[in-house]
């Protein structure tokens, strides 16, 4: 980006949440002026990397830079999303961009949150196929096109955490309410025609907290960068639980 003429550049007002657990200071917002080329619609992650060139001590996670690995869930101008696929044209308001860590989880450093609670909830729903059948290395378990279609919109989750950290019920009860991501995962296996543990799965989800703390506020749906719909999956689980109780 060395040879861009001045008139093709815009100066963006960037501010980044900073926190270092070993320093005495409280968390604060650090401001940067970042020159960005106008002809290209950069992504938020690109801008973070430009800022890191100015101050290498800024910490954030990133890997794929194409929206598939789930590393860089961030709170971008107040809305959760992935840095690498959120274009500035969507995110920037009045030339300002403010980036904070995902809300509701403990901050380790700067933009890096501790995902432990999130992953623990994921593990709780037994996120793997359970079948009566022994693993057979000679053939596939048959599944029709229609049965397979039921998994679309469920299996694509990248565990970025954008949804659960936008969910008020998860904020208040992160240890008990499983949260939208884990529940989406639970339903992904319930919906799989090859899985034979539906009953066991529903039983586990039955208590007042696991599922029923979801009040259908749909924050999760509006932030999911993969366009998934945890609310709908939760609704399906609720329906099955109600039916089962009758």
> What residue ranges bind ligand SF4 (CB under 6 A)?
157-163, 167, 169, 180-181, 184, 214-220, 224, 226, 228, 230-231, 234
Rounded to a whole number of angstroms, the minimum distance from the CB of residue 73 to ligand SF4 is 7
Whole-number Å distance between alpha carbons of 117 and 180: 13
SS3 category, 75:
strand
Nearer to other proteins, 56 or 243 (CB): 56
- In the complex, the smallest distance separating the C-beta of residue 244 from other proteins, rounded to whole angstroms, is 23
- Which strands form 73-76's sheet, in the order they lie side by side? 28-37, 9-18, 96-100, 73-76, 79-82
What is the DSSP code (8-state) at residue 132? S
Distance, CA of 230 to CA of 14 (rounded, Å)? 32
Contacts of 43 (CB under 8 A, 6+ apart): 65, 83, 84, 85, 86, 87, 88
Our CB check for ligand SF4 shows the closer of 10 and 123 to be: 123
Question: C-beta of 40: minimal distance to ligand FES in Å?
Answer: 18
Distances (CA, A) of 201 to 130, 152, 173, 211, 226: 10, 20, 21, 12, 25
Is residue 137 near other proteins by the rule CB under 8 A? yes
CA distance 112 to 101: 6
Tokens 């059948």 -> residue: 133
Contact partner, 136, from ligand FES, ligand SF4, other proteins, none, Cβ < 5-8 Å per class:
other proteins
Does 14 participate in binding other proteins (rule CB under 8 A)? no
Integer CA distances (angstroms), 150 to 58, 143, 153, in order: 42, 11, 8
Closer CB to other proteins, 30 or 59, in the complex: 59
Task: Please choose which of other proteins, ligand FES, ligand SF4, none residue 220 contacts, taking the beta carbon within 5 to 8 angstroms, the exact cut-off set by kind.
Answer: ligand SF4
Residue span 71-110 as binding mask against ligand FES, x where in contact by CB under 6 A, dash where not: xx---------xxx--------------------------
CA distances from 191 to 50, 125, 206 (A): 43, 14, 17
CB-nearer residue toward other proteins: 39 or 243: 39
Please report, as ranges, the residues that interact with other proteins according to CB under 8 A.
Answer: 20-22, 40-41, 53, 56-57, 59-71, 85, 87, 108-110, 112, 115, 119, 123, 126-129, 131, 133, 135-145, 147-148, 151, 155-156, 158-159, 189, 192, 194-195
């Amino acid at each position: 980006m060395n040879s861009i003429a001045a008139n093709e550049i815009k100066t963006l007002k960037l501010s980044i949440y900073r926190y270092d657990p070993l320093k005495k200071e409280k968390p604060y917002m650090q401001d940067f002026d970042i020159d960005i080329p106008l002809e290209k619609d950069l992504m938020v992650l690109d801008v973070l990397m430009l800022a890191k060139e100015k101050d290498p001590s800024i910490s954030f996670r990133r890997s794929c830079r194409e929206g598939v690995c789930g590393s860089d869930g961030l709170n971008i101008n107040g809305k959760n999303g992935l840095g690498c696929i959120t274009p500035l044209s969507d995110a920037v308001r009045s030339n300002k961009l403010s980036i904070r860590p995902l809300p509701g989880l403990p901050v380790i450093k700067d933009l890096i949150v501790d995902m432990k609670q999130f992953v623990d909830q994921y593990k709780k729903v037994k996120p793997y196929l359970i079948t009566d059948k022994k693993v057979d290395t000679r053939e596939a378990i048959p599944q029709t096109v229609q049965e397979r279609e039921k998994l679309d919109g469920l299996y694509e989750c990248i565990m970025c955490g954008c949804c659960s950290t936008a969910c008020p019920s998860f904020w208040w009860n992160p240890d008990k309410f499983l949260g939208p991501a884990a529940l989406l995962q639970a339903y992904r296996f319930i919906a799989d025609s090859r899985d034979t543990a539906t009953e066991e799965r529903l039983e586990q989800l039955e208590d007042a907290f696991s599922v029923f703390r979801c009040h259908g506020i749909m924050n999760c749906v509006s932030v999911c960068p993969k366009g998934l719909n945890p609310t709908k999956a939760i609704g399906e689980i609720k329906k099955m639980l109600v039916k089962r109780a009758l």
